[in-house]
A and B are shown apart, each in its own frame.
Chain A
């Protein structure tokens, strides 16, 4: 009876975690891959893996950083497997940079502001595309998911100094992209 109640509580907790963080995990994976189908698949895999290991989660880090770490590892595994299984016919649905930059929230901007915003977003995508895998991960975790430097360090397994260095290089790249105009 007590065991059943504990299991129910754990299931409810996990449901709450999924509801709270699914959007963020999907957003990070979408920004990393620019592939909607792949981001959805990896998000599902992430929560499946998290569910299997939920009993082992001790809350030493936040649930979000734990989930992000799983998501990053799944993404790495995906690219590694894809490189090894080069003969597999895997369709890549990654959208190009222009298409990714087309999205803007429907706000109270006028046409000129929207065009300017799209140009800026396109510049940032260009810069993100030129970043190394680590720099991109750190940049997206900081400026899209708005994780703290400490959280990024825990998520990626890097030191905080290394995270700062990657972030600084990523920002320099974005600045350079804007300086081309």
Chain B
């Protein structure tokens, strides 16, 4: 088994270093050696093993639960608002379509009423111009306006 003579083995590159740095590294080694020797020879005391800090664990768990609740609540709320908005938009579209259909039907109804009225007026006009054959010479003397006035 090899044994080191610590006083005789120094890194050879120390010789090439600046004197101040060399001295500092020497002092550093001496300091660490003195410290470790002092600590090795000090009386030992029994230490309790590291305990799990349950308070800290509980705080972490609580914080995680609150965070998860906040995030999932936010997501749910957002999702719900989107659903409501979508439903409202669909209802508004249905209402608009129904109104449109109603207006179209009303316009069509008005149009057919108008055409019926026009037809009736034309029939009336045609009928009013119809006269017995004995009065035909007189009827030819009447203008359309006069005939309508009757």
What is A's interface to B at a CB cutoff of 8 Å? 13, 16-17, 20, 23-24, 26-27, 30-31, 36-37, 39-40, 62-64, 87-91, 100-101, 103-106, 117, 120-121, 123-125, 142-144, 146, 171, 174-175, 178
For the complex, what is the distance from the CA of A39 to the CA of B4, rounded to whole Å?
A: 22
Q: What's the least CB distance linking B21 to chain A, in Å?
A: 6
> Which residue of the partner chain A has the closest CB to B48?
A91
| Known A30-B39, A87-B53, A117-B31; further 19 A-B contacts with Cβ < 8 A | A23-B36, A30-B35, A30-B36, A31-B32, A37-B47, A40-B44, A63-B2, A87-B56, A87-B57, A104-B27, A105-B30, A105-B34, A117-B30, A120-B24, A121-B24, A144-B29, A174-B21, A174-B24, A178-B20
| 9 shortest interchain CB distances as A-B pairs | A89-B53, A103-B35, A120-B24, A27-B36, A124-B28, A105-B34, A121-B31, A117-B27, A103-B34
| Number of B residues, CB within 8 Å of A | 38
Q: Does B114 have its Cβ within 8 Å of any Cβ on chain A?
A: no
Hey, which chain B residues are within 8 Å of A125, CB to CB?
A: 28
For the complex, what is the distance from the CA of A180 to the CA of B100, rounded to whole Å?
A: 85
Hey, which chain B residues are within 8 Å of A144, CB to CB?
A: 28-29, 32-33
